[in-house]
Amino acid sequence: MKNKMNKTNPLGSIRWFIMLPVLAMLLQACNEDNVLDLEPYNQISEDAAFSTPDLIALSVTGMYNAAQRGDYNGAGRGYPFGAAFVQQGDNRGEDVVNVATFYQLTYTATYDPTTANNVYYWSDTYRLINRANIIIDGVNTAVANGIITQDIADDYIGQALFFRAASHLELLFHFARPYDDTPNASHPGVPYREIPYTTEANIVAGLEQGRSTVAECYTKLLADLNEAENLLPTKADRGGTDGIIRATKEAAIAFKTRAYLHMGNWQMVLTEGAKLTGAYTLTPNPVTPFTSGYSNTESIFSIENTANNNPGVNAALASQYNRRGLVVISPIIWRNPYWLADDARRAEDDFVYTRSGVKYTAKYKDPTNYTDPAPVIRYAEVVLSMAEANARLTNLTPALTQLNLVRNRSLADPATQAYTSFANQDALIEAIIAERRIEFVMEGRRWPDIHRLQNDTFIDLDGIPAKVANGAPPASDYTLGTPYTGPYGVSAIPYSDYRFLWPIPQQEVNNNPTLAEQQNPGW
């Protein structure tokens, strides 16, 4: 699927939606539904897209649509943040079981540089990044031309910076080794793209851009998030649903806690997390973030889905995880001793539904219209990240308090079941990581934790853990009382194995000789 430039006019007709087809969608015009319903055929020149306040607002809405739906052979498939980051993040880990063939290549690590899921994960994420860069450039021009005020522009630019940072961070989880793989994080990251590909010079530069180091990527994405924090309105200023489905100052802060956690910068996790104290609270009932739609005190940022605009039957979370039941909760986590038998997160219909003894998630409630928000980041994650940071800094008392804040609301009797102490720092950190697995099961957070915890001082983890065989497990595997000890139909993959990382897509390296020399080893 290489792009073949016209020899006499390599740019052809430059449109606002120019993307790389594979090399970050630099040259492919995108005909997505529900982005901009404008002639000709919802493509519009860049100048026109930023010529009026209404068109600029529609362009920003188009960025959210790109985050929600992506493209998969011309159809929406939830890349990168509408559903795919949940589904791929789950299936790369061991706490779910892929039942059918839909995610089998991801689940069994039998992907290659042409496998559709990882190819579109890369290309659609870079499409979103390019769209963010186009908005930054176009909005600045609109201010210079007197079309919108600087205050409005700051909000739009903040939203674009938020997505640019979040997208690069997501790519690092799959295509680069974790931050501490080398002492100074000097190993290859991903190309950090900061210019819009709407001119010949920029396209040529994009076709030659190589990988930044992991350290450089984190420096850039944190700078983007810091600027986004300064530019964006607060959740309260946005108000209502927009306080969750649009980027806010608090969402930028929350993503910084995620980034610093992956860097192992524990003090900065605490510094950023403290900014959110009072802005969010954990809901007393742990199911509320999944039953309240787009209004609760815990959801920091979610992607909106509606009956008329969602990733569709082949991607929507309530389709794949609920109605079609293509992925189930694994006996590995279901029988984890940290997960008490009477924990509310086992409640039938609230969190779980059972078919023939097999445990499916009930977090996503609308299998008809697919209107469930995609939960990108919740305050529970920030609290547990702060708990872990405190524990690693030997601030054991606040770490215990924060761990219990999340866990206690799910306990049948917190007075007798809450944690009161741990034998040592090691045991406390282990309990926090276990709580993350329980709290975020079927929310896509397991793979990022597997990724960052390689070579960890406290967590015994080497590569991708062994998994239950692809296919529905027998009901007997879910019997509580003892930890799951096998059988495992999918073998563990050591951290040293090349399959720990996804390969850069073949179509990308075909177009970019620099990246061809920087392919992940083994691919």
Query: Any idea where the domains of the chain sit in the sequence?
Result: 1-69+111-232+493-523
- Any bridge partners for residue 327, and if so which? 98
pLDDT tens-digit map of 453-483: 999 999 999 999 999 999 999 999 999 999 9
Q: Of all residues in the chain, what percent carry a pLDDT higher than 70?
A: 92
Q: What is the DSSP letter of 520?
A: P
Q: Whole-angstrom Cα distance, residue 465 to residue 481?
A: 22
Residue with the bigger pLDDT between 42 and 241: it is: 241
CATH of 1-69+111-232+493-523 given 3.30.70.1280, 1.25.40.890, 1.10.10.10, 1.10.645.10: 1.25.40.890
The arithmetic mean of pLDDT across residues 169-173, rounded, is 98
Q: Whole-angstrom Cα distance, residue 109 to residue 470?
A: 12
Alpha helices per DSSP H over 440-474:
446-452
Nearest CA to 221 out of 141, 290, 146, 129 is that of: 129
The arithmetic mean of pLDDT across residues 298-323, rounded, is 96
Q: Which residues, other chains included, contact 235 with Cβ-Cβ below 8 Å and sequence gap of 6+?
A: 243, 244, 248, 249, 250, 279, 300
pLDDT reported for residue 74:
82
Using pLDDT thresholds of 50, 70 and 90, give the confidence band for residue 45. confident
Residue 354 phi, psi dihedral angles, 5° rounding: -115, 130
**Residue 32 pLDDT > 60, yes or no?**
no
Look over the chain and give the mean of its residue pLDDT values, rounded to a whole number.
92
pTM of the model: 0.93
Q: Please state, in angstroms and as integers, the Cα–Cα distance from residue 411 to each residue in 149, 263, 332, 335, 367, following that order.
A: 51, 32, 20, 16, 28
Using pLDDT thresholds of 50, 70 and 90, give the confidence band for residue 371. very high
pLDDT reported for residue 6:
34
The arithmetic mean of pLDDT across residues 19-29, rounded, is 37
Residue 188 phi, psi dihedral angles, 5° rounding: -65, 135
Q: Which residues, other chains included, contact 467 with Cβ-Cβ below 8 Å and sequence gap of 6+?
A: 94, 97, 107, 330, 332, 488, 489, 490
The label of the residue with tokens 């009026």 reads 52
Query: Could you give the dihedral angle defined by the CA atoms of residues 399, 381, 445 and 388, in that order, rounded to the nearest 10 degrees?
Result: -20
**Residue 10 pLDDT > 70, yes or no?**
no
Coil, strand or helix at 397? helix
- Any bridge partners for residue 96, and if so which? 329
Structure tokens at 381: 């994650």
Nearest CA to 311 out of 95, 161, 87, 507 is that of: 87
pLDDT tens-digit map of 217-262: 999 999 999 999 999 999 999 999 999 999 999 999 999 999 999 9
DSSP string covering 208-230: T--PPBHHHHHHHHHHHHHHHHH
Residue 507 host element (H or E): helix 506-511
Q: Whole-angstrom Cα distance, residue 77 to residue 70?
A: 6
Residue with the bigger pLDDT between 14 and 102: it is: 102
